[in-house]
Amino acid sequence: MESVTSSAAMAALPETFQEARDDIAGQIGLIWDQVKAPVIVPLLRLTAFLCLVMSVMLFVEKVYMAIVIVGIKLSGRRPDRRYKWEPLREDLELGNSAFPMVLVQIPMFNEKEVYKLSIGAACGLSWPSDRIIIQVLDDSTDPIIKDLVVMECERWASKGINIRYEIRDNRNGYKAGALKEGMKHSYVKNCDFVAIFDADFQPEADFLSRTVPFLVHNPQLGLVQARWKFSNSNECLMTRMQEMSLDYHFTVEQEVGSSMYSFFGFNGTAGVWRISALNEAGGWKDRTTVEDMDLAVRASLKGWKFVYLSDLKVKNELPSTFKAYRYQQHRWSCGPANLFRKMLMEIIRNKKVSPFKKVHVIYNFFFVRKIVAHIVTFVFYCVVIPATVLVPEVEIPKWGSVYIPSIITLLNAVGTPRSLHLIVFWILFENVMSLHRTKATFVGLLETSKVNEWIVTEKLGDALKTKAITKASKKPKIRIGDRLHVLELGVGAFLFFCGFYDLGFGRNHYFIYLFLQGFAFFAVGFGYVGIFVPHS
């Protein structure tokens, strides 16, 4: 009797589970049907409409800049044709005093791997030794690294280089605070111009002789900016992706801003400022994480013009790890959004610049490039389009889901012709990064607690080569928590769910894109992107 009862119970148990499962699925389906029509569909339609509007805005901006660039190339509108430029030479009567006094600032923080490179490059600049001051602004907290930097400065000083090692007792304001403090020293009063190089930047010897004459012969110019050249762009796939994004910025955005408006965002390094322009703008401020852009906007509102030299390249290093790149992108996305919030009314009320330039700064420079571009990339391509698979009542027109994104992508990719074959990987990686950029943009706009979070981007310098020899047998210890990225894994799971749903029940045929993008999010989420492997 007991065995019969037991058998009956065992037979009934799976059936009970089946009924419970069907009941739960039915309840979820019922709730979805009740919420879908009155809430989900209208909300998704509104979001899709806004994303399409933003896509058109971004498309128009990209096409406009492409047309301008073509016009610049065809007309030969080079900086030395738009502004007066003559090489500076030693005068028979004045001697070296014919050359202006130049201050070279190198801000650094625990830069063990690259401090020798930047100091050596700065000390190797071709300029009269009595007309240049090298200022090393060391905020390092590691006493061993500080001692190494001091020894390097003393080594160059023994060779007759006018080099000053400056420290402060706090890190208030981070880089902006260090640069501001550096300008307070008495010897700076004798300087006319200041060149700034981050710790991983290595200018060529002729850098000053090619930039300073623009400032000397054109009193309306406040800034001369050089282009970045990446020494480790071939290190891994992630650095190739970074190169593609940054090359567009330097090839197109900076060139258009310089040629059409004499304004662009200072890149924080590889540039020379007229000190009087810097001071008139109010000097360095640490109210955002983009102190360089802040200074550029304020100087522009005072009427100063900027020039960009695309043919003058300064070697530097790209982040080789995803963690370092993510922190950098957070700073570069959060800072502009927060600066836009802080300066919008100041720009509108300004009376020194033309309405044409105001529109460019507010709409093109800030709103479209620094806010719209980040939001539409993530929200539209990683949320809205996948969601339409689950909500077929909402349709995205082909021009919005295919044609406009394709044209925008191609216009972005032409800046790096050698990497055109990597364009699919670049699209997928940029969409993953748009998650962090969008989050950072809202942090800046809403000014949350992390708005001024500043983490110095790690540089590896020559260690890339030496570590391959000295530590080839040692595998780096990486904690699981450092490898797993929950946000990316969550978005990847959502994309895979939408992909399988589209494959089984959908009609949009988005599943190929959804699976590829889902794999990209999972690859990053599980920590398989940006893991540097040194070359032997």
Angle at 216 between CA 133 and CA 257, to 5 degrees: 100
- Residues 170 and 178: their CA atoms lie apart, in Å, by 9
Per-position DSSP letters for 130-163, written without gaps between them = GGEEEEEEE----HHHHHHHHHHHHHHHTTT--E
List of residues 6+ apart from 184 with CB closer than 8 A: none
Contact, 292 vs 266, CB < 8 A? Answer: yes
Closest to 54 measured CA to CA, from 441, 350, 391: 441
Helix (H) or strand (E) holding 57: helix 41-75
Instruction: Give, as one character, the DSSP assignment of residue 474.
Output: P
Residue 431: how many CB atoms within 10 A of its CB?
21
Closest to 372 measured CA to CA, from 124, 79, 56, 65: 56
Closest to 212 measured CA to CA, from 121, 154, 293, 273: 273
- Residues 454 and 160: their CA atoms lie apart, in Å, by 36
- Residues 508 and 505: their CA atoms lie apart, in Å, by 10
Q: Please pick, among 286, 292, 294, 502, the residue that the annotation labels catalytic.
A: 292
- Residues 97 and 90: their CA atoms lie apart, in Å, by 8
Q: Is 292 a catalytic residue?
A: yes
Q: Is 169 a catalytic residue?
A: no
- Joined tokens for residue 473: 């047998």
CB burial of residue 3 (10 Å; 0-12, 13-18, 19+): exposed
Q: Please pick, among 139, 200, 247, 294, the residue that the annotation labels catalytic.
A: 139
Instruction: Give, as one character, the DSSP assignment of residue 473.
Output: T
Please list the active-site residues: 139, 292
